[in-house]
Amino acid sequence: MTLYVDKREALEPFAKHEADAVQGKPRSLTRDAMRRLFSNKAAVVSLVVFVLIVGTALILPPFLPYDYETPDWAAFSAPPSVESGHYFGTDQNGRDLLARTLYGTQVSLLVALIATTVSVVVGVLYGAVSGFVGGRVDAAMMRFVDVMYALPYILFVILLMVIFGRNVYLLFAAIGLLEWLTMARIVRGQTLSLKEREFVEAARASGVSTFPIILRHIVPNLVGPVVIFASLTIPEIIVTESFLSYLGFGVQEPLTSLGTLISEGADVLEVMPWLLLFPGATLVALLLSLAFIGDGLRDAFDPKDR
């Protein structure tokens, strides 16, 4: 029988009890989200597929007997074959399709990464400032976003083409500068609700100034939506790039990308189906795996499931 005499003592068993309750490593929210992500089968399979594709695209090319731009004079328009070493076949110019597909994957991913990074950085900063400062500043900043939204996207891209025509990476950095609009809106909405949260008020009550509050309390809590947004933007940019390349606006010869390869392959579908099949399959696998990863991330970060 236990009989507590004063409150100090009463608190002790309570504290011990609490210590028993939580064991193991501290669980941050991100760790929790990752744990949930890794318990999602579709996301894990997709992650494996994605890592395989990216890993192959980055590591394999130097070990291939052919590179992406030098023609093999012995094999023009050759179908896939194991003996010749052209596992994916060659194109009309005798270039190895496997090397080109891997290279194209690299380019597509790099382009997507650039555009997504640009859009996330600009979007988060713009949205967080707009949301946190509020009032007239917020109204002005958001009207600017609305105006940008209203402008036709493709027209913009074509204008950018004229400016950055020769440099595909700059072009996609510029496309990233268009993509941030959605990010900014999402971040602003989140910030508006975050700044009303009591922990921000607590920070203000203890005298923390505005910028540290944004950095310590607002931005870290945006991780969820930002990660989800990024995982959905990457495939979007890959598609945009493929689309632009298909129209002939994208990557220039002898550089290549998945979109360019598909565009070229589509022209000769009847005679050389492998030229469409392999880049197409790679793109589809990439997009599908990214979509499932994005979906898994959304579930993992969704506060409703917590």
N-term to C-term CA, the chain: 38
Token reading at 232: 């959905």
Binding segment for another protein (CB under 8 A), chosen from 46-54, 200-208, 236-244, 252-260, is 200-208
C-alpha–C-alpha distance, residues 299 and 228, integer Å? 9
> CB of 222: closest distance to another protein in angstroms?
10
Q: For another protein, which residue of 73, 206, 211, 304 counts as binding (CB under 8 A)? A: 206
> Residue 109 Cβ, how far from another protein at the closest point, in Å?
29
Q: Which of 15, 82, 150, 162 binds another protein (CB under 8 A)?
A: 15
**Nearer to another protein by C-beta: 37 or 174?**
37
Q: Residue 15 class from Cβ within 10 Å (0-12 exposed, 13-18 middle, 19+ buried)?
A: exposed
3-state SS assignment for residue 7: helix
**Distance (Å) of CA 181 to CA 11, 105, 122, 140, 218:** 52, 26, 9, 14, 19
Question: Does 3 participate in binding another protein (rule CB under 8 A)?
Answer: yes
Sites for another protein among residues 217-276 (CB under 8 A): 217, 220-221, 223
Give the position of tokens 């900014």: 184
Contact 67, 96 (CB under 8 A): yes
Closest CA to 157 of 243, 98, 219, 223: 243
* Chosen residue from 56, 142, 216, 268 binding another protein by CB under 8 A: 216
Q: Which is nearer to another protein, 174 or 186 (CB)?
A: 186
Q: Write out the binding residues for another protein, residues 37-56 only, by CB under 8 A.
A: 39
122, 141, 148, 203: residue in contact with another protein (rule CB under 8 A): 203
Task: Give residues in contact with another protein (CB under 8 A).
Answer: 1-7, 9-11, 13-19, 21-22, 26-30, 32, 39, 197-199, 201-208, 216-217, 220-221, 223, 306
